[in-house]
Amino acid sequence: MRIFAAICSQHMHLSWRSGQTMLAVSFLFIAITLLPFGLGPELNLLRALAPGLLWVVLAISLLTGLERLFQADYEDGTLDRLLLVPLAFEAVVLAKLLGHYLALVLPLILAVPLAGLLLNIEAARLPVLLAAMLCGSPALVLLGGIGASLAVSVRRGGLLTVLIAMPFYVPVLIFGAAAARAGLETGVAVGPYLGILAALSAASLLLAPFAIAAALRSALR
Amino acid sequence: MLKALENISAFYANPTRFMALARQVHRPLWALAIGVLAYGLYRVAYVPADYQQGDSVRIMFVHVPAAWMSLFGYSFIFIASVTALIFRHPLGHVAARAAAPVGAVFTLLALITGSLWGQPMWGTWWVWDARLTSVLVLFFIYLGYIALWQAIDEPTRAARAASILAIVGFINVPIVKFSVDWWNTLHQPASVSRLARPALHADFLYPLLIMGAGFLVLFLALTLTRMQMEVLRQRLRARARKGEPPHV
Amino acid sequence: MAETQNLFSNMQHSRDAVCRADGLACARGAITVFEGVSFSLAAGQALCLRGANGSGKSSLLRQLAGLLPAAAGTLTHPDPAYGTHYLGHEDGLKAVLTIAETLAFDAALAGYRADNDAYADIAARLGLAGCDWQFVGDLSAGQKRRLTLARLIMDPRPLWLLDEPMTALDAAGRALVTDLAEAHLESGGMIIAASHETLDFADAEVLLGPRR
């Protein structure tokens, strides 16, 4: 639908132009850079921890970028307008989330191999790690979106968004990191983990838009 | 039966009638809570020391009921939120908001007693045991819920947002429990560091159940008191909005 | 595919569109903002809402836009998704976009796409220059208000809900709003506007205030 595409591309456009994409990717690299200062530069240690660390940093980078998802529209009146469009509001929400995913999350995931290099990750692990992130990141965006929409009317509600979204992230992180580790252990199939991640994403896709739409409608009342 | 329940809840939807009922039930409920807990503690004092864990097994009688209450508390919040949002019962939001800090404190109690219980066995104050980790995540769910109530200024908007969070979060709790359990089996360290419950024969089971019942009544008493406080607070706010001084 | 619609030349709104309120009440939280409001609007009529700050003018408009539920009474209005334009206090404009991009988005939400000439045309009619390169963030408050009027031109909908349409506008801007409003009414549309000042195009006024 043209309106769906317009809302999606508008969000992507705005994210790029206001530098959000660059900010999120920079944040990813800065966070990864800080880790050796805390953990020590021992390469073997970093290599062993790399998949889990990358997952956690990806999740946090995602969460920090979520605040912008709805709050700018809420404050300047665009959200009112999006409710008055001949498209179901849940679909409007999905359009924004898709735009956010394409503009912010995909670049983050594409930056992961480079960030992994900083942690001396084994190249063989990367494909599985990326596959797991692609399967699990929709869940992260959708669940984080619930937090962002609940906190939308709160000024500087970024921290609140993180606090609300964090318990939802636990299952995704558990299975995502497990999938990344399973890639190299013989006899452990990666498929089931990716399946669980995809199932979590699918379930979020079914439930989150309704919760987000309800939360946004409530904030506009 | 259901119709009777409906009628009762509709009758007490009126805050004034609810407050009248609460005033009557309040003291007996607290008396019951203190009574059952006192009896429970008395029974616990006479439980024979466990052959493996010694006297520290008695902490289990606080830890396990507290963990039960943390789960019960969130279920209570879920049911109250559903009642408020879908059945539009006005006291639902009051009940959910009142119960949240109570549940959070029980959760914190479960975490602290779990840590105290395990320390002699593990040698450290914390392990990422499946149950403790699940309770820790539940604690953050409570914190997020309470923070949402406090962050949104307008009360009705805060109530709506909080009920959405309660309902969505409730679906998440079993998922978290399942994933954390699975995660724990994956990373079983060399020494088994689970909080092993001693065999539940009658000597242990009955005091445990009594403590559980006592905690339940305590939860209800605390929540009822907080609900009364919340209704009074709303009345004060309404008066202040109209420019009337608070009623002495 | 690329249609340029000059929507005011021969647009006629359906005379079936109806806007009516009966004993309407509005509540924000526990406070009753207003109650017992009744009016009826037919095609070609405009209503002006007057009242002190906090009397509920904006809330009434939001109820008509379907953003706020009615606390009591009945409210009949066109389907907000197809039949209503709501111009609120905030602009709904994005500072990092150019005028042309903003107009393109307006067109997309209306369901079509036009070429740059059409956008330049509309911008000119609104009294805005530099359609291709002017960023919305650099416009003055009055110019931004004019830009918000673009969707009224680009998307024909019978009911217009305008919240303080004359704020920040100079004499030329006010004339623009009046012209657009009168053309809209002539083609059978309806307008409900909240304003502190008298509006030339309004047929009647509703005063929101405490019961006397």
pLDDT at residue A111, as a whole number: 93
Substitution target in A12, A80, A82 with the highest count of C β-carbons within 10 Å is A80
Which residues in chain B touch residue A153, judged by CB atoms under 8 angstroms apart? 152, 157
Q: How confident is the model at residue A27 (pLDDT cuts 50, 70, 90)?
A: very high
Enter the tokens of residue B46.
Answer: 């006479």
Comparing C46 with C17, the larger pLDDT belongs to C46
Q: Can you tell me the mean pLDDT for A150-174?
A: 92
Among B74, B86, B137, B152, the strongest candidate for a mutation testing the A interface, having the largest count of A CBs within 10 A, is: B152
Question: Which residues of B fall within a CB distance of 8 Å from C31?
Answer: 241
Region B202-227 average pLDDT: 90
Q: Which two tokens stand for residue A13?
A: 């456009």
Confidence band (pLDDT; 50, 70, 90) for B247?
Answer: low
* Domains of chain B, residue spans: 31-187+198-233
Q: Does C28 touch chain B (CB under 8 A)?
A: yes
Contacts of B among chains (3+ CB pairs under 8 A): A, C
CB contact under 8 A, A170 and B157: no
Domain ranges (residues) in chain A: 2-220
How far is residue C62 CA from its own chain's centroid?
A: 11
Task: pLDDT band for C212, please (50, 70, 90 cuts).
Answer: very low
The residue of chain A with its CA nearest to that of C84 is A84
- The sign of the torsion formed by the CA atoms of B142, B146, B151, B152 equals positive
Higher pLDDT residue, B10 or A16? A16
pLDDT at B204 over 50: yes
The answer for residues whose C-beta is within 8 angstroms of residue A24's C-beta and 6 or more apart is A61, A62, A64, A65, A104, A107, A108
| Residue C53 confidence class, pLDDT cut points 50, 70, 90 | confident
- Residue B195: what pLDDT? 54
pLDDT band, residue B123 (cuts 50/70/90): confident
Our CA-based measurement puts residue B14 at a distance from the nearest CA of chain C, in whole angstroms, of 15
Tell the residue number behind the tokens 């959070």, with chain if given: B104
Helix segments in C16-115, DSSP class H: 57-64, 80-83, 99-110
Residues 6+ apart with CB under 8 A from C30: B155, B156, B234, B237, B238, B241
Question: Nearest residue on chain B to A214, judged by CA atoms?
Answer: B164
Query: Tokens 């995931």, residue?
Result: A109
Neighboring chain A residues of C105 at a CB cutoff of 8 Å: 6, 10
In a domain, C8, yes or no: no
**Is position C9 within any domain?**
no
Mean pLDDT, chain C, rounded, equals 84
Look-up of token digits 């984080």 = A144
Q: Which domain holds residue C116?
A: 19-208
> What are the chain A neighbours of B185 within 8 Å (beta carbons)?
none
CA closest to B158 among chain C residues:
C29
Measured between alpha carbons, how far is residue A92 from residues A8, A80, A82, A85 in Å? 8, 12, 7, 9
As a whole number of angstroms, the distance between CA A8 and CA B77 comes to 36
Taking 60 as the threshold, does the pLDDT of residue A186 lie above it? Answer: no
ipTM (interface pTM): 0.90
Domain count, chain C: 1
The pLDDT of residue B108 is 96
Total beta-carbon pairs less than 8 A apart between chain B and chain C: 12
Quick one: how far is CA B154 from the chain centroid? 26
Q: Which residues of A touch B (CB under 8 A)?
A: 146, 150-151, 153-154, 157, 160, 163-164, 166-168, 170-171, 174-175, 178, 200, 207, 211, 214-215, 218-219, 221
Q: Is the pLDDT of residue C26 over 70?
A: yes
**Residue A10 clears pLDDT 50, i.e. is over it:** yes
- pLDDT > 50? residue A187: yes
Chain A nearest-CA distance from B62, in A, is 25
**Residue C210: is its pLDDT beyond 80?**
no
C13 assigned to some structural domain:
no
pLDDT of residue C4: 35
Contact between C77 and C84 (Cβ < 8 Å) = yes
Residue pair B172/A168 in contact (Cβ under 8 Å)? The answer is yes
Give the per-residue pLDDT at B193. Answer: 44
Average pLDDT of the segment spanning B107-113: 94
Q: What Cα–Cα distance (Å) separates residue A159 from each residue in A65, A67, B137, B144?
A: 11, 9, 17, 10
The residue among B52, A13, B247 whose CA lies nearest residue C98 is: A13
Q: Is residue C30 part of a domain?
A: yes
* pTM for this predicted structure: 0.89
In this prediction, residue C211 has a pLDDT band, given cuts at 50, 70 and 90, of low
d(CA A43, CA A33): 13
- The alpha carbon dihedral of B23, B24, B29, B30 has a sign of positive
The model's pLDDT over C94-129, given as tens digits with 9 standing for 90+, comes to 998 999 999 999 999 888 888 888 889 899 988 888
Nearest CA in chain A to C26: A221
Q: Mean pLDDT across the stretch B140-157?
A: 93
Query: With an 8 Å Cβ cutoff, are A76 and C91 in contact?
Result: yes
Does C5 fall in a domain?
A: no
Residue B51 pLDDT exceeds 80:
no
Other CB atoms within a 10 A radius of the CB of residue B246 amount to: 8
Select from C94, C135, C154 the residue whose CB has the most chain A CBs within 10 Å, as the one to mutate to test that interface: C94
In this structure, what CATH number is given to the domain that contains residue C118?
Answer: 3.40.50.300
Distance, CA of B141 to CA of A59 (rounded, Å): 17
pLDDT at position B188 over 60: no
Chain C stretch 113-172, residues whose beta carbon is closer than 8 A to a beta carbon of chain B = none
pLDDT band at B198 (very low <50, low <70, confident <90, very high): low
Smallest CA–CA distance, residue C30 to chain B, in Å, is 8
Tally DSSP H helices, then E strands, for chain B. 7, 0
Distance from CA of C79 to the nearest CA of A (A): 9
- Give every CB contact of residue B202 below 8 A, 6+ residues apart in sequence: none
Is residue B157 classed exposed, middle or buried when 0-12, 13-18 and 19+ CB atoms within 10 A define those classes?
middle
Kindly determine whether residue C30 and residue B154, on different chains, have CB atoms separated by under 8 Å.
Answer: no
Task: Return the residue matching tokens 């307006």.
Answer: C106
Q: Of residues B40 and B196, which shows the higher confidence score?
A: B40
Angle at B23 between CA B19 and CA B29, to 5 degrees: 120
Residue % of chain C over a pLDDT of 90: 24
Q: What is the pLDDT of residue B187?
A: 66
Nearest to B132 by CA among B105, B114, B108, B113: B114
Which residue, among B156, B233, B239, would best test binding to C if mutated, counting the most C CBs under 10 Å from its CB? B156
To the nearest 10°, the Cα dihedral for A90, A92, A93, A99?
Answer: 150
- In terms of Cβ atoms closer than 10 Å to its own Cβ (0-12, 13-18, 19+), residue B243 is exposed
Query: What average pLDDT does this structure show over C4-15?
Result: 51
